[in-house]
């Protein structure tokens, strides 16, 4: 069963997420939370990252789809909806627990951005082109990830969620998509 994604007026999105205790990382409880997050991300139509507060859980965990890392040369337009859906189901999700943004490049770029918790609104956010994040994975192993481009953008967006920040706080040129 899929978890509902919390929307922007919910106060949980404005709280600083709590660190997961090291001896809890491999617990049933945390495994279940990660499982729910994955299911919710897969069920979304276009999300590539999700933070635990977005499913109502105030813990410092986020996941990022492998899709953010794969360089897509082919445009999505060449896939029909069924094929897109199948591709979404195959993407792996990387888990970041108690993440820390330890380095950000001085070079920034304005990137188009949206959020599953801010339905129908898009804008552009100035993001560091490269970042390094340290975190623990779901097996409690230390990860140190250097990222650029879309992956770097997602890491910054999800880290913001764990600090109670939404992209609309920083975005320029916010646009509302007309209701379908």
Rounded to 10 degrees, the C-alpha dihedral 105/48/64/121 comes to 60
Alpha-carbon distance of 165 to 17, in angstroms, equals 11
Which CB sits closer to Zn ion, 53 or 91? 53
Residue 158 appears among annotated catalytic residues = yes
Residue 149 Ramachandran class (φ > 0 left, ψ -120 to 50 alpha, else beta): left
Rg of the chain on CA atoms, in Å: 16
Q: Does 52 bind Zn ion (CB under 5 A)?
A: no
Of the two residues 27 and 46, which places its CB atom closer to Zn ion in the complex?
Answer: 46
Residue 68 binds to Zn ion (criterion: CB under 5 A): no
Query: What size, in residues, is the chain?
Result: 180
Closest approach, Cβ 127 to Zn ion, in A, equals 13
- How many Å is the maximal CA-CA distance in the chain? 47
Q: Give the H or E element holding residue 48.
A: none
Q: Does residue 63 belong to the site contacting Zn ion (CB under 5 A)?
A: no
Assigned token pair, 108:
């920034």
Strands (E), 15-169: 49-51, 61-65, 93-104, 108-115, 118-128, 130-136, 142-148
Note whether 25 binds Zn ion by CB under 5 A.
no
C-alpha span between 17 and 106 (Å, rounded): 26
- In angstroms, what is the minimal distance from the CB of 117 to Zn ion? 5
17 binds Zn ion (CB under 5 A): no
Q: Taking CB under 5 A as the rule, does residue 162 contact Zn ion?
A: no
* Least distance (Å) between residue 133 CB and Zn ion: 16
User: Which residue is associated with the tokens 């967006």?
Assistant: 157
Q: Which stretch binds Zn ion (CB under 5 A): 20-28, 31-39, 92-100, 108-116?
A: 108-116
Number of residues lying near Zn ion (CB under 5 A): 1
Candidates 26-34, 105-113, 115-123, 145-153 — which segment interacts with Zn ion by CB under 5 A? Answer: 115-123
Out of 158, 172, 175, 180, the active site residue is 158
Q: Does 115 bind Zn ion (CB under 5 A)?
A: yes
> In terms of CB distance, is 3 or 140 closer to Zn ion?
3
Q: Which residue in the block uniquely carries the two structure tokens 């919910």?
A: 10
- State the catalytic residues: 158
Q: Which residues bind Zn ion (CB under 5 A)?
A: 115
């Amino acid at each position: 069963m899929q978890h509902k994604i919390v929307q922007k007026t919910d106060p949980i999105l404005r709280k600083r997420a709590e660190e997961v205790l090291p001896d809890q990382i491999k617990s049933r409880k945390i495994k279940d939370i990660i499982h729910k997050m994955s299911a919710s991300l897969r069920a979304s139509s276009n999300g590539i990252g999700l933070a635990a507060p977005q499913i109502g859980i105030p813990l410092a965990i986020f996941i990022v789809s492998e899709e953010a890392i794969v360089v897509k040369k082919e445009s999505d337009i060449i896939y029909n909806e069924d094929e897109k859906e199948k591709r979404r189901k195959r993407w792996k999700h990387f888990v970041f627990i108690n993440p820390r943004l330890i380095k950000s490049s001085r070079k920034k770029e304005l990137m188009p951005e949206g959020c599953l918790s801010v339905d129908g609104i898009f804008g552009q956010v100035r993001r560091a082109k490269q970042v390094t994040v340290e975190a623990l994975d779901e097996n409690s192993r230390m990860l140190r990830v250097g990222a650029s481009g879309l992956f770097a953008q997602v890491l910054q967006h999800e880290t913001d969620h764990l600090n109670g920040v939404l992209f609309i706080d920083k975005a320029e040129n916010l646009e509302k998509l007309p209701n379908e």
